[in-house]
Amino acid sequence: MLNRMAVLLLGITALLFASCSSSRKTFDPDRKFAPDKLQKDFTLFRNILEENHPSLYWFTPKDSMDLYFDNGFRLLTDSMTEPAFRNLLSTITSKIRCGHTSMRYSKRYTDWLDTARLRMFPFTVKVWGPDSLAVTATLNRKDSLLKRGTVVTAIDGRDIAQIIDTFTNYLQSDGNIITGKYQMMSNRNSFGNLYRVVYGIPEKVRIDYIDSNGLPQSAMIAAFDPPPTVKRKEKAEADTSKRLPAPGTPTPKPPKDVPKAVSLNANRNLQIDTTLKSAYMTLNTFSMGSRLRGFFRRSFREMKKREIKYLVVDVRNNGGGDAGNSTLLTKYISKKKFKLADSLYTNKRSSHYGKHIELQPLYWLWTLFVTHKEEDGNFHFGFFERHYYKPKRRLHYDGQVYILTGGNSFSATTLFAKAIQGQSNVTIVGEETGGGAYGNTAWMIPDVTLPNTHIRFRLPRFRLVMDSTLAKQGRGIMPDIEVGYNSYFIKRGVDPKLGVVYRIIRDRARMEKEMDGMKGGK
């Protein structure tokens, strides 16, 4: 009897495995969906956003959003592939001006991309302005023409300003912030992925560039074809372990073969320079699972033991995560009590489209207990609107703090930076953050799956307002000392932001030493 059962179970398992394998093999990434299927998904996409997104009209008036929706629907007169339809939806989510509302491929298409040997754009770039782009690395090792720092002026006859402007229409950002979009294009292969889905990548790409003598040149550069033995872990503009995710997307999990200690150290570490009595803290995430509570405790204990006078906190590549972790770091540095938000609310507990929204029943139950309806018709999370956090007494840091920011500084990172901005011992150095200084729409962000194409989009459920006086501006946290990039820094591999902070610390340390000497002389 047992043997028969074992054989039966093995047979069922083999059939299931064969079925799954067959399903994977028969997946057609070039499949086109009929207009009626696309129209149904589009209508659902619009209805869910209009019903549930608490900030749909925060920066874009309703009549304008209605126009964007209507124009998008009118384009659905012919069949479309999944990437084409996703592109269309992305141009609409970008108009919401919410960095947490983004489109994602279906799970099957994402799985296919995991191992697909797609032709790749031949180099990676750094974008730092509406018409400023330079090469950071080439994928073809034999290509010695386009060196690091080479300024590119056109690609396949398209002016760089035109390309950058086009790409911004496919990328999400908070409010009126553009630095985040520039940084998204600069994150490893993101520019190349965008180029593929918008224009396609031919076998050879024509590049117009400025040579080392400052003269305009043109050349045909071969696209990069991955070797057959290499499996590419690329999820077209989504998260990978090899490049920074776009701000607002979930933090990617490290590969299984990477030791936990190594991945943790890559995301957060502390380096101490005893000569300058300074410490450099790298924080690339505030996500749960990064064991930040213990890391902060050990770090601030070590800094107190070594009498560190200058602390650099690098959050340039921190896309956010758990607000509890960012709040904890704030408590170690802030000199006064602080709140997370002036207001935090959702506009809906239930939904007519709950079966398409991830964990909707749990969301309804959770909001039933922690939110209450107020006169404005919204359901407010009163605890965070009223609660003040107190600074740490033990291991509190009172030295000079320099926070490095950039376009990837997003979400919970802005909660941290905003809470201590303006404090007498805190200086923010770098570029405008990708996350809004006024607040954001996030907190709980389920996936919504469209039933016909199975394309997914992220639906933030809570509007968090940190500073209502800044909402109309729709900007990020502005640095006290603005430091950007140019081709000179890229060509020489120079970190200009860290360079500025190092010089400040060096000069302050030298001045303090001289003053101590003068006091000793007296």
Tell me which residue of 80, 81, 50 sits closest to 68, measured CA to CA: 50
Residue type, 344: L
436 φ/ψ angles, rounded to the nearest 5 degrees: -70, 140
Enumerate residues 6+ apart whose C-beta is below 8 A from 24.
Answer: 111, 112
What pLDDT does residue 266 have? 83
The conformation of residue 224, written as its DSSP 8-state character, comes to B
What pLDDT does residue 12 have? 43
What pLDDT does residue 347 have? 96
- Domain extents for the chain? 117-222, 260-504
Q: Which CATH architecture has domain 260-504?
A: Alpha-Beta Complex (3.90)
What pLDDT does residue 166 have? 97
CA distances from 469 to 342, 353, 466 (A): 11, 34, 9
Collapsing DSSP states into helix, strand and coil, what is residue 24?
helix
What pLDDT does residue 252 have? 53
Q: How large is the C-alpha radius of gyration of the chain?
A: 25
End-to-end CA distance of the chain: 98
Residues 353, 47: contact at Cβ < 8 Å?
Answer: yes
What pLDDT does residue 235 have? 39
Gap between the Cα atoms of 450 and 292, Å rounded: 36
CA 286 to chain centre: 12
CA distances from 152 to 138, 159, 225 (A): 13, 9, 22
Residues 345, 381: contact at Cβ < 8 Å?
Answer: yes
Tell me which residue of 268, 249, 294, 7 sits closest to 110, measured CA to CA: 249
Q: How many CA atoms lie within 13 A of 428 on its CB side?
A: 23
Collapsing DSSP states into helix, strand and coil, what is residue 510?
helix
Six-digit token pair at 175?
Answer: 């409010």
Gap between the Cα atoms of 271 and 164, Å rounded: 37
Gap between the Cα atoms of 463 and 372, Å rounded: 15
CA distances from 28 to 73, 115, 125 (A): 25, 14, 31
pTM (predicted TM-score):
0.88
Q: Which fold has domain 117-222?
A: Pdz3 Domain (2.30.42)
Q: β-strands 310-314, 278-283: how paired?
A: parallel
What pLDDT does residue 257 have? 57
- Measured at the CA of 343, the angle between CA 48 and CA 418, to 5 degrees, comes to 110
Residues 126, 110: contact at Cβ < 8 Å?
Answer: no
Q: DSSP letters of 234-284?
A: --TTS-BTTBPPPTTSPPPPPPTTS-HHHHHHHHEEEEEETTTTEEEEEE-
Six-digit token pair at 104?
Answer: 């994602």
What pLDDT does residue 27 have? 85
Residue type, 297: R
Tell me which residue of 50, 43, 165 sits closest to 96, measured CA to CA: 50
Gap between the Cα atoms of 319 and 254, Å rounded: 16
The DSSP H or E segment spanning 404 is strand 400-405
- Measured at the CA of 400, the angle between CA 293 and CA 393, to 5 degrees, comes to 45
Residues of the chain with pLDDT under 50: 1-24, 230-244
Collapsing DSSP states into helix, strand and coil, what is residue 330?
helix
